[in-house]
Amino acid sequence: MQRGSHHEAWSSRFAFLLAAVGSAVGLGNIWKFPYVTGVNGGGAFVLVYVACVILVVIPILIGELLIGRRGGESPANSMAALAKDENRHSSWEILGWLGIIAAFLILTFYSVIAGWSLAYVLETAKGSFENIDATGSREIFDGLLADPLSLGLWHGLFMGITMFVVSRGVKKGLERAVTVMLPSLFVILLVLVGYAAIAGEFKRAFDFLFTTDFSKIDANVILIAVGQAFFSVSVGIGALMTYGAYLPRDVSIPKMSCVIAAADTLVAVLAGLAIFPIVFAYGLEPGEGPGLIFVTLPIAFGQMPGGTFIGTLFFVLLAFAALTSSISLLEPTVSRLVEQRDWKRVPVTICAGVAAWLVGLGSVFSFNNWADFTPLGIFPTFANKTVFDLLDYLATNILLPLGGMLIAIFAGWLMAKKSTLDELGLTDGPVYRVWRFLVRFVSPVAVGLVFLFNLA
């Protein structure tokens, strides 16, 4: 069978761009980036983060899309095909499987957090936060986390919507969903930034995000920035590799990669500019941590005029962003399964989604019944880590950078120069040379160093 014949292609370059930006923009931008920036001292972290995106993540993203499009199949089959084309060992197929498994694992806990955002749409719309104080807000959040039944149901609802979209296929499912949701997401985000600029302490937030205190940069900040950059741009595993397989040949991969990374970074910064002015205006704590948008922000929504509306809008934004990402986490598994002879998309999607929901229950229980269950507790690094923490650690700090490093090695060292030149549609000029230098030397070495520090 001809390569790629199992799959639909994107109907246009723009459709691909929306889908890829949709994958990149997610909880990582709106939930994680602001709080990680807050905890790690603001501007210094932002600077390191942007450097990681440009020097490490974009080169790997180019490699990932290039492998995906040249292979034309799911990550596993694309890697197998390319290993053969390039006369490399067939075990490179394992890299593809690693990507599929990593995407699946991330989906299992991603959907649990995305479930919180659905719960909060309802909670804010009901007006539960009106005139609430810090204790009250924390009680609502802790109450949600303590209740495995509602967590499991919200997680199930979110997974169900993801499955619905993916089951309809590339054009009718993925494309339609992102075409509606991504532009809405941008509009909502701009409205929120506008609101924060008028009603909040915008200048202070701006200084917080962009004034760099170099003394705050240390190995740990770099480590966190690299992990966050991989996660936020969706790079390092099979998600964008799978999207690349559906990419028409006339699209320039280097250009697309820069646009995807730039849009993702822009949204992260805008999310910071929507959130921190409000945090400062209401005297709240920017370094609050993971609870920043679920505990801290609702206090402000409860006090501000029109806060019920603005708050609801905010959590709708979060849910949309999460959904356009979760579909890219389910798609790699589904794309591999439909390559199996006679396996149809709908049943395959249902099986994969239900399996991800079941595994995700481990993360659901991590916040209540299993809160004290630390499976790897005998190792000091994992001392207090729940099942959820372990999955997050394994995926974000190990599988993503490892996958990214192997992608860089394959695209930079093992593919023939002629193949990469041809696939990127470039001549052997400055753009190609810069990419090749970064992907061969800078990205793998940077990731290797991060691993060393991580282990030490």
- Say if residue 186 is exposed, middle or buried (CB neighbours under 10 Å; 0-12, 13-18, 19+): middle
237 sits near ligand TRP (criterion: CB under 6 A): yes
CB closer to ligand TRP, 293 vs 400: 400
- Contact in structure between 123 and 129 (CB atoms under 8 Å): yes
Site for ligand TRP in 285-344 (CB under 6 A): 325, 328-329
Minimum CB distance to ligand TRP, residue 97 (Å): 15
- Say if residue 456 is exposed, middle or buried (CB neighbours under 10 Å; 0-12, 13-18, 19+): exposed
Site for ligand TRP in 404-423 (CB under 6 A): none
CB closer to ligand TRP, 26 vs 75: 26
CA 398/CA 339 separation, integer angstroms: 28
Minimum CB distance to ligand TRP, residue 11 (Å): 21
Q: Position 198: which residue type?
A: I
The correct pick among 16, 109, 129, 231 for binding ligand TRP (CB under 6 A) is 231
The correct pick among 17, 20, 21, 27 for binding ligand TRP (CB under 6 A) is 27
CA distances from 91 to 4, 103, 105, 337 (A): 21, 20, 22, 19
CA 172/CA 161 separation, integer angstroms: 14
Minimum CB distance to ligand TRP, residue 236 (Å): 6
Short-list 64, 69, 73, CA closest to 423 = 69
CB closer to ligand TRP, 103 vs 161: 103
Contact characters 106-145, ligand TRP, x per CB under 6 A: x---------------------------------------
CB closer to ligand TRP, 144 vs 322: 322
CB closer to ligand TRP, 361 vs 400: 400
Question: Taking the CA atoms of the chain, what radius of gyration do you get in angstroms?
Answer: 21
For the chain, the straight-line distance linking the first and the last C-alpha, in angstroms and rounded, comes to: 48
Minimum CB distance to ligand TRP, residue 330 (Å): 10
Cα pseudo-dihedral 294, 295, 298, 304, rounded to 10: -140
234 sits near ligand TRP (criterion: CB under 6 A): yes
- Residues at the site binding ligand TRP, with contacts judged by CB under 6 A: 23-24, 26-29, 103, 106, 231-232, 234, 237, 239, 325, 328-329, 400
